[in-house]
Amino acid sequence: METPESHVARVRGLQRLRREILGARVTVALDKELEHETPGPTRRLAEMKLPTRLEMEHAQYGPEIPRVRGLKVLHREILGARVTVALDEALGHKTPGPVRRLAEMSLPDAAEFARARRYDEHEAQERV
The band of 8, judged by pLDDT with boundaries at 50, 70 and 90, is confident
Could you tell me if 86 and 37 lie in one domain? no
pLDDT one-digit tens code per residue, 9-55: 888 888 899 899 999 999 999 999 999 999 999 999 999 998 887 78
What SS3 class is residue 48?
coil
Query: Residue 33's pLDDT is what?
Result: 93
Domain encompassing residue 75: 66-128
In terms of domains, do 7 and 39 share one?
A: yes
Does 36 map to a domain?
Answer: yes
Q: What is the pLDDT of residue 97?
A: 94
Q: What is the mean pLDDT of residues 91-108?
A: 95
Residue 76 within a domain: yes
The answer to whether residues 79 and 26 belong to one domain is: no
Range 72-76 contact pairs with CB under 8 angstroms and sequence separation of 24 or more: 74/108, 75/107, 75/108
Distances (CA, A) of 5 to 10, 13, 18: 8, 11, 20
- Are residue 81 and residue 116 in the same domain, yes or no? yes
- 61 belongs to a structural domain: no
4 has pLDDT over 60: no
Task: Determine, yes or no, domain membership for 60.
Answer: no
Task: Judge whether 34 lies within some domain.
Answer: yes
Selection from 63, 72, 68 nearest residue 122 by Cα: 68
Q: Do residues 44 and 78 both lie within one domain? A: no
For residue 77, being part of any structural domain is answered with yes
* Coil/strand/helix, residue 106: coil
Helix (H, G, I), strand (E, B) or coil at 102: helix
Tally of structural domains, the chain: 2
Does the residue 99 lie in any domain? yes
